[in-house]
């Protein structure tokens, strides 16, 4: 116990002035949000906000880019919000909103930057150009900034439609595809920084670009960018924690699968001199699946609690629930064989790739081809 206390004291003692300024700003922002918008929140939402503040402060301490990402996106979102002046019509009239800071404009810029980032990562990988890969990384960060800004502004826009319409923007396929792209990109950028290599970016950005491509098609074909009131089944505070936890799982599983593709190519001698060592790729794959499994487990438990409140039972073998269980069992088996049986190499990589197909069906296929209690998520 004394050793643990000593380690905690040492860790806090290592925080510099910028760490404490950042943490203070996060808590000040949370207090402002509570005072300014507390009237629109119930007790659960206030608790989520108060728990999020120390979580974001800690995240900024352990991963330094968060210390500028959170303040920058908050500042851009506030600039956009103040431009509205209380009416959505301002998005068509004011220059900053029309071209940059309305939710639709910011999200379209996000899509463009993610696609450009993919191109530059591939130019850098194939041409052994560190400068091209550095541009790809900066474009990826730019996409994250604009994507987060767009989501925050969209949250505000929903309240301009009416206090009974306003909701966190994670309620439909349009919004969760943005969430998926942002989560996957942020986890990748963390691993890129941690392992000091940008050579995985070409592969991971492919899955993000694919999500962005679907998002653009969905926007045009279904007019999906329009903000809609929540269906009754989603009018719950459970959504605010269940959906993000779920998509941390989806995003990290997708990241692991794309890194597994890089592993398989390097092992086959394709791009072998351009990719990181197999040990690094294997370690990223393992860590991504471990994080994803932990959050997917939490999301599944939260989903069961939500189901009990909404439908009167923890589990109903709805197609979405059944396929969520299949995904969970798939990665549980992968991790079990990894930790107990020493699963490595080609089998582990192929399993991670196939796992992405299973996860994709659970995410999209169920919505497209099966019906059930989650039918509000259909394409």
Please report, for the chain, the start and end positions of each structural domain, with discontinuous segments joined by +.
18-62, 69-230, 243-379
| Paired tokens of 92 | 């068509």
Cβ neighbours of 164 (radius 10 Å) = 10
The crossing angle, in degrees rounded to 10, of helices 66-84 and 17-37 is 30
In terms of pTM, does the model score above 0.85? yes
CA-to-CA distance for 185 and 206, rounded, in angstroms? 11
- For Cα atoms 67, 68, 69, give the angle at the middle one, nearest 5 degrees: 100
Q: Is 304 exposed, middle or buried, given 0-12, 13-18 or 19+ CB atoms closer than 10 A?
A: middle
Residue 31 CA to chain centroid, in angstroms?
25
Name which of 104-113, 194-203, 291-300, 367-376 the model is least confident about: 367-376
- pLDDT on residue 277: 97
Distances from the Cα of 314 to the Cα of 61, 159, 227, 308, angstroms: 37, 32, 30, 5
pLDDT, tens only, 298-339: 999 999 998 888 788 888 888 888 999 999 999 999 999 999
With b for 16 or more beta-carbon neighbours within 10 A and e for fewer, the 70-104 pattern comes to: beebbebbbebbebbeeeeebbeebebbeebbbbb
- pLDDT on residue 283: 97
pLDDT at 18 over 90: no
């Amino acid at each position: 116990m004394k050793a643990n206390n000593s380690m905690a004291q040492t860790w806090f003692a290592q925080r510099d002035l910028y760490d404490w300024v950042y943490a203070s700003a996060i808590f000040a922002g949370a207090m402002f949000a509570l005072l300014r918008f507390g009237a629109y929140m119930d007790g659960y939402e206030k608790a989520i906000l108060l728990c999020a503040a120390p979580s974001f402060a800690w995240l900024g301490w352990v991963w330094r880019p968060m210390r500028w990402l959170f303040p920058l996106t908050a500042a851009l979102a506030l600039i956009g919000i103040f431009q509205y002046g209380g009416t959505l019509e301002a998005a068509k009239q004011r220059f900053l909103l029309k071209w940059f800071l309305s939710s639709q404009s910011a999200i379209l810029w996000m899509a463009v930057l993610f696609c450009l980032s993919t191109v530059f990562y591939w130019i850098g990988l194939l041409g052994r150009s560190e400068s091209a890969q550095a541009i790809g990384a900066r474009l990826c960060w730019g996409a994250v900034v604009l994507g987060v800004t767009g989501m925050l502004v969209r949250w505000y826009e929903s309240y301009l439609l009416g206090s009974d319409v306003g909701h966190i923007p994670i309620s439909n396929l349009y919004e969760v595809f943005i969430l998926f792209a942002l989560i996957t990109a942020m986890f990748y950028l963390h691993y890129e920084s941690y392992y000091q290599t940008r050579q995985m970016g070409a592969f991971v950005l492919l899955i993000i670009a694919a999500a962005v491509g679907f998002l653009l098609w969905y926007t045009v074909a279904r007019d999906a960018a329009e903000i809609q009131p929540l269906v009754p089944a989603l009018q719950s505070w459970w959504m605010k924690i269940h959906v993000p936890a779920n998509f941390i799982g989806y995003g990290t599983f997708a990241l692991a699968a794309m890194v597994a593709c890089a592993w398989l190519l390097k092992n086959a001698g394709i791009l072998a001199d351009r990719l990181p060592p197999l040990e690094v790729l294997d370690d990223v794959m393992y860590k991504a699946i471990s994080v994803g499994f932990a959050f997917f487990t939490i999301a599944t438990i939260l989903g069961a609690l939500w189901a009990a409140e909404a439908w009167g039972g923890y589990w109903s073998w709805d197609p979405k629930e059944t396929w969520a269980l299949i995904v969970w069992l798939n990665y549980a088996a992968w991790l079990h064989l990894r930790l107990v049986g020493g699963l490595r190499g080609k089998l582990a990589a192929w399993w991670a790739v196939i796992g992405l197909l299973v996860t994709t069906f659970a995410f999209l296929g169920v919505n497209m081809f099966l019906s059930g209690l989650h039918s509000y998520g259909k394409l």
